[in-house]
């Protein structure tokens, strides 16, 4: 079994794997539209984590996107560990995510490098889906949210760093715009504390 990670699974693989491959899936974009009250926020102050949105659904959210792919990492799970890993991922991704199957591509190949990978997606019909908001609103929410797994900003910055490490081609305009704005907010907050 192959698993495709596009969020924290890019840098935090907490299950046994045989091998991994960087790559991307077509027809999806990554967005910080999924609420997190169990990892990067609380019930009262949910954080935001990423989910995948099919590109054909973006128009309903009035989202102007540049990309039509989402970069991440594909992980091959040892055959003897599949049941254990599925149970683990079902628990880890319990906050509104459902299982889907995708092809994983790499720039070096026109055909998929992984024919069938499992991916967990927080679809708009799940109760934790927050949906779109302005760049500023999402950035402020990320800058202030903290949950059992730590500050929401750590999730964002780790994801940006991990994505850049995958490939020089791994660009994500939404993600990198949020990174820039959240760092500006944190710098503004630090200046206010100095005075």
Among 44, 57, 62, 93, the active-site one is 93
Q: Residue 79: CB partners within 8 Å, gap ≥ 6?
A: 1
| Host H or E run for residue 68 | none
With CA atoms as reference, report the closest residue to 180 among 136, 129, 144.
136
Give the number of other CB atoms < 10 A from CB of residue 90: 12
User: Structure tokens of 103?
Assistant: 């092809």
Q: 3-class DSSP state for residue 120?
A: strand
Q: 3-class DSSP state for residue 7?
A: coil
Does 93 participate in catalysis according to the annotation?
A: yes
The Cα–Cα gap between 40 and 60 comes to 27
The Cα–Cα gap between 162 and 97 comes to 22
Could you list the active site residues? 93
């Amino acid at each position: 079994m192959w698993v495709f990670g596009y969020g924290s699974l890019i840098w935090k693989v907490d299950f046994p794997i045989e091998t991994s491959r960087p790559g991307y899936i077509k027809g999806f974009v990554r967005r910080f539209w999924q609420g997190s009250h169990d990892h990067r926020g609380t019930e009262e102050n949910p954080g935001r984590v990423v989910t995948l949105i099919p590109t054909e659904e973006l128009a309903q959210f009035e989202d102007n996107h540049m990309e039509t792919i989402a970069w991440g990492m594909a992980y091959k799970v040892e055959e003897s560990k599949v049941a254990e890993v599925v149970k683990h991922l079902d628990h880890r991704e319990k906050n509104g995510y459902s299982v889907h199957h995708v092809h994983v591509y790499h720039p070096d190949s026109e055909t998929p490098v992984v024919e069938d990978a499992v991916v967990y997606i927080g679809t708009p019909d799940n109760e934790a889906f927050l949906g779109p908001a302005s760049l500023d609103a999402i950035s402020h929410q990320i800058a202030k949210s903290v949950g059992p797994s730590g500050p929401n900003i750590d999730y964002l910055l780790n994801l940006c760093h991990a994505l850049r490490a995958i490939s020089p081609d791994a660009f994500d305009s939404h993600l990198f715009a949020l990174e820039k704005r959240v760092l500006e907010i944190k710098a503004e907050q630090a200046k206010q504390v100095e005075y």
